[in-house]
Amino acid sequence: MKKENSNENFVEVRHLKKYFPAGLKGTTRQYVKAVDDVSFSIKKGTTMGLVGESGCGKTTVGRTMLRLYPITAGEVFFDGVKINDLSRRDLRKMRPRMQMIFQDPYSSLSPRMPVGEIIGEAVREHNIVPKEDLDNYVSDIMNACGLPYRYSRRYPHEFSGGQRQRICIARAVALKPDFIICDEPVSALDVSIQAQIINLLQNLQEEFGYTYLFISHDLSVVEYISDTIGVMYLGSMVEYGDKKSIFKHPMHPYTQALLSAVPIPDPDHKMNRVILEGDIPSPINPPSGCKFRTRCEYASDICSKIKPEFNNYLDGHEHEVACHLYPQDHQEQRVIS
């Protein structure tokens, strides 16, 4: 497994595409462009938040990065190794280092296996620890995730939603990974339980140095846990940058609309809510040029003709945006009023 990139980025995604065939066999072949030319990078030991409306392709990005879905086009690098080129044998060796925490903890856990076996199954399969040490190892992992070892003989249906999510986290970290994709791990939980799970993920990151891709539609959660943020719309990345820069200076109209919907716990604060009109276009036949133009109040003729470039517009800060409101190939900048 040859390392092909030598920069400081631990995870790097370049022009990733994932298309799913649509329609019946024998008909004109169409494709659902679930992920369409997405690029970003994550530094070791940090967390990147990936946000957007339901159906924008966030989960598909995560699953395609791990090759749970075949990659249509683009490149994915993990610790310098190009994931696209790995054989089945090499990918299997790499699997323990890349794990995923799924959105629905109940459906991702086998109802026929007790919790101890669920956590220890992959550990045993990948020879993470000697067989004679497996029980003690599983006990340590469960305790680290807030699960007493006496629960190891219980089945998933005997636990609450928050406890099941802890089981999923324990199953992921048991393989001693370096990179974990968290696919909306708190979206189905009560607010108080959400805070416990988020704190658990942060504590584990501090202790073991994990690198996270945190997928969510909740911007308040993403702001709390993330170092960098990527905003997706209809399969494409529209804005990417440092968390503080994104929240303080949102540049894309779509990002501004998302942030305007975040509730602020101040009864005297007047919210300037940005209401997006219309529905999300079909990913089978997305709009030409800028995909967001059909719902953007600032759209002009050029937005329908030319796809905006993804450029960095803040000196000294990592903050990129794809929008014709900002200079494109030396065009004059249009200013949002």
pLDDT in tens, 204-231: 999 999 999 999 988 888 999 999 999 9
Contact call for residues 226 and 309 (beta carbons, < 8 A): no
Average pLDDT of the chain is: 88
pLDDT exceeds 80 at position 14? yes
> Which pLDDT does position 246 carry in this prediction?
92
pLDDT exceeds 70 at position 269? no
> Which pLDDT does position 334 carry in this prediction?
45
> Which pLDDT does position 333 carry in this prediction?
45
Q: What are phi and psi of 34, to 5 degrees?
A: -65, -40
What is the enclosing helix (H) or strand (E) of 30? Answer: strand 30-43
Confidence of residue 266 (pLDDT cuts 50, 70, 90): low
Place of tokens 């990527």: 230
> Which pLDDT does position 337 carry in this prediction?
36
Confidence of residue 39 (pLDDT cuts 50, 70, 90): very high
Q: Contacts for 294-302 with beta carbons within 8 Å, 24 or more apart?
A: 295/254, 296/253, 296/254, 297/253, 298/253, 298/325, 298/334, 298/336, 300/324, 300/334
Mean pLDDT of the region 68-96 = 93
- What's the DSSP call for residue 67? T
Residue-wise burial string across 191-229, b where 16 or more C-beta atoms lie within 10 A, e elsewhere: eebbebbbebbeebbeeeebbbbbbbbebebbbbbbbbb
Confidence of residue 16 (pLDDT cuts 50, 70, 90): very high
> Which pLDDT does position 41 carry in this prediction?
95
Tokens representing 269 are 């604060």
> Which pLDDT does position 335 carry in this prediction?
42
Torsion (CA) 234, 239, 245, 251 in degrees, nearest 10: -90
pLDDT exceeds 70 at position 298? yes
Partners of residue 321 on adjacent β-strands: 239, 311
> Which pLDDT does position 189 carry in this prediction?
82
pLDDT exceeds 90 at position 316? no
> Which pLDDT does position 89 carry in this prediction?
92
Tell whether the torsion through CA atoms of 31, 37, 41 and 42 is positive or negative: negative
Measured between alpha carbons, how far is 65 from 178 in angstroms, rounded to an integer?
Answer: 14
Mean pLDDT of the region 125-154 = 94
Confidence of residue 328 (pLDDT cuts 50, 70, 90): confident
